[in-house]
Amino acid sequence: MLLINQNQSIMKPLVIIFLMCSLSLYSQKPETKTILDNEYSVNYKKENNEFEICKKTDNFLECYKYIIENKDEFSFMQALDSVTKLAIHTFKYKFFDKEYKLEELSSIDYSKITISNTEEEFNNLKDNGMELKLEDAPVSLPTFKITKTDSTSYEMTINEKSIKFTSVKDIASKTDEFKADILKALKDSIDKTTTTIETSFKDLLGDLYNTSIAKTEDYVYLATETLSDSSNPPVKGNYNFYYLLKDKNIHVKVCKVEDKESCKVYGPYELSISENEFVNSITNQHKVFQDGNKDNQTAIGKVYYMIVAKKETKKIDIVKKEINDSISNIFEKIENAKNTFSGQFVINKKVPLYKNKLLKKRWYWLDKYSKPKIHDDIELIVDSVNIRFFNNRADNITIVGRLSNDKDNTRVFTNRNYSLPLREFTHRVQTNSLVDKNNDTLTYYYDDILDYLPYKKYNYAVKNGEIKVRVGDSIKAVERKIGDYFTGIFFSDFLGLNSNNSNSLIVAEGRIRIPWHLRNYRKATLFDNITAYASVNLFSGFENSSRKIELDDTFDADETSEANAQNFTTDNFNLLSNNNIDAGVLVTPYTFEWKGASTFIHLRYGLRFIRTGVEYNLKEQNTIVVDSVPTIQETIVERKGFQVFSIGQEAELNFEIRPQSSVGADVTVGLNWFRATGTNKNDVDFSTTNNSPNLKVMTNIYALTNSEDSNSGVYFRLGGHYNLGTYKVFPQIMVGYATNLSSFVNKLKKED
């Protein structure tokens, strides 16, 4: 702290800045503190909501007032760090010839150093050596000593580096060498001193805060311990310990039982503080308790371990919040990412036509045509092409053009038979046709009309939407973002079928569909997509509600017993109808496109996972005597429960109906079968009956409100499951709304 005393004229205004930046504080009485040989007093005038800082000089008080806007005293600790950095940044240090900011010291040249030792002093050097004299050297920094090794030789050590000299003249010749080493040693020392200054200011102002300003009404009682104070001789007394966990810190308040006004606040401590550090701090911070007393150390150690349990819970909560915030930030960045382009489209003005001459017209079967042959007389002249993309397909391709032998007659050609996955633009098998006046078929290839070319990137992930390409244009295709593959849906129990639902939301469902289109043969596609989904029933889970399997009461507390295991049995269908989590992954090995009905028919197969809550009552029986008659009385000891995990298979036929890009429906008919595979309690012997499959019939109807920018819209779900063994039905009638990725995650995130 000698460095501070050297520059009080500079640092005193900085201290005032420190105190003025701690104005969001709360105090009940004036507090006086001596800082840098100057006495400061702080006072909070509650009636005016005014905070006052005064510096006492010889003749008067120099006061600064501030109206408090934020009474949160913990904002002081948050401001302390930033203000400390500001003070260190603006602090000027006298270094040889002038004053420098600490950050400017790295640019100083060693030529600024002047050695004032004379040649006579070197010649008369004693055996114990001599200190090197530096003109205008900073105070309290390392000294450098030069020693005589023999009658003519000298040696100097700087930062463990030894420099040897053969004579006094040799010292003068090596001045540049050791001046640079001296400067580096001085700078290294200043870095350490700077850290010490920063720590000292935090300790000083932290102590001022803890003893004068900190609120106490939020502290929670922890324990009462007997400790010996620091008087001579020490006196034992009873002290109440209180704790407060706030803003990633631990605060401790200790009050003498007989004197509630004698409270001292300790800390703040980081959550990672060790027992030894905690005990030493409580002993030494205010010097209230006897140092080195074994009984004191034991008692304070007990308090530490009581806080450990509290701080571990706090650390977990902090980590959870940081993870949730991080996930939300990631998804928001994904959602708001700038557009990139997967490629670009250009069109060719003249397209060759291939003629299939009609050989024979049949009324009972397909007409007979000749093999295709390029038409030498007629070409298709293209003016423009409109393409509507959906799930990485060119869903609608509308070509506006003319035939070369009829240029005045504009024609419109559309892909009436099937859509085209983008990867198929490079395959010479995708065609469309028109019929001329002679009933001959004229065929054109899409890759003769459209070229899909790279633009910085090249892939087949094109955002849903529509583009128009004219002759001579190059139109970029916007690349799909990760969030575009995701649809988040919140379903509500609009019929009130689940009255225990407290938040009006019963199911949150996320679905992601990754287009694959491994191979396309006109209307048929192999491995069209992979679909994954997860549904969570928000009103159930581990909480008490009606959506759980209710088992018979048991009188045996041992869950592993033979008798009890017989009770832990249920129908497989109950696991489905009472689930709180439903998730699955489905692969689509075959897809058929029914273009006329704007429908894709998908054959899907995959795995399904469900989690179901189970509850039961643990009872005890006691015999009581009423009017000399023994009576058995049953009492519920505990309501117990666990979760059952089930994995099964599912095969389904899905009709994806898309008459428009913003309106559509999914109709699914399928079979699923599964059984319980485990529980979250390893000692529970749980089993199921009825392995009959379930028939699934489900319809989802949706209307998107802004199909160009998001998946937001209204969803309706109607359907259910029917067990083919027990003939039980699990209906689902729900209305919901869809949202984008980041909104979905933020809606699910638990707020503190």
Sequence-separated (6 or more) residues with CB below 8 Å from residue 422: 389, 392, 393, 394, 452, 460, 462
Are residues 596 and 449 part of one domain?
no
Are residues 537 and 471 part of one domain?
no
One-letter amino acid of 489 = I
Are the CB atoms for 632 and 619 separated by under 8 Å?
no
Work out the number of other CB atoms within 10 angstroms of the CB of residue 585.
15
Q: Is 211 within the bounds of a domain?
A: no
Residue where a domain stops, chosen among 37, 71, 100:
100
Sequence-separated (6 or more) residues with CB below 8 Å from residue 673: 648, 649, 691, 692, 693, 694
Are residues 420 and 320 part of one domain?
no
Are residues 365 and 330 part of one domain?
no
Are residues 574 and 541 part of one domain?
yes
Q: Is 564 within the bounds of a domain?
A: yes
Report pLDDT digits (tens) over 723-733.
998 899 988 88
Are residues 449 and 389 part of one domain?
yes
pLDDT of residue 545: 46
The helix/strand count (H/E) of the chain reads as 12, 42
Q: How far apart are CA 668 and CA 675, in angstroms?
A: 22
Domains identified in the chain, total number: 4
**3-class state of residue 690 by DSSP:** coil
Rounded to the nearest 5°, which phi and psi values hold at 55? -110, 125
Q: Is 289 within the bounds of a domain?
A: yes
Q: What CATH number is associated with residue 697?
A: 2.40.128
pLDDT of residue 490: 83
Residue where a domain stops, chosen among 71, 100, 129:
100
Q: Is 190 within the bounds of a domain?
A: no
Are residues 515 and 413 part of one domain?
no
pLDDT of residue 254: 92
Q: Is 328 within the bounds of a domain?
A: yes
Are residues 469 and 321 part of one domain?
no
Are residues 611 and 492 part of one domain?
yes
Q: Is 640 within the bounds of a domain?
A: yes
Q: Is 174 within the bounds of a domain?
A: no
- Total-model pTM: 0.55
pLDDT of residue 735: 86
Closest CA to 668 of 653, 657, 680, 658: 653
pLDDT of residue 157: 72
Are residues 669 and 570 part of one domain?
yes
Range of the domain at 399: 341-478
Report pLDDT digits (tens) over 535-587.
888 754 334 445 678 787 777 655 544 445 566 788 888 888 888 899 999 99
pLDDT of residue 501: 39
Give the bridge partners for 476, in sequence order: 344
Q: Is 405 within the bounds of a domain?
A: yes
Angle at 385 between CA 379 and CA 387, to 5 degrees: 140
Are residues 613 and 513 part of one domain?
yes
Low-confidence ranges of the chain (pLDDT < 50): 1-30, 35-38, 66-69, 71, 73-80, 83, 201, 208, 211-212, 216, 498-504, 540-545, 560-563, 750-752
Q: How far apart are CA 9 and CA 13, in angstroms?
A: 8
Report pLDDT digits (tens) over 130-166.
777 777 666 556 677 777 777 777 777 776 667 777 7
Angle at 700 between CA 611 and CA 651, to 5 degrees: 55
Are residues 378 and 289 part of one domain?
no
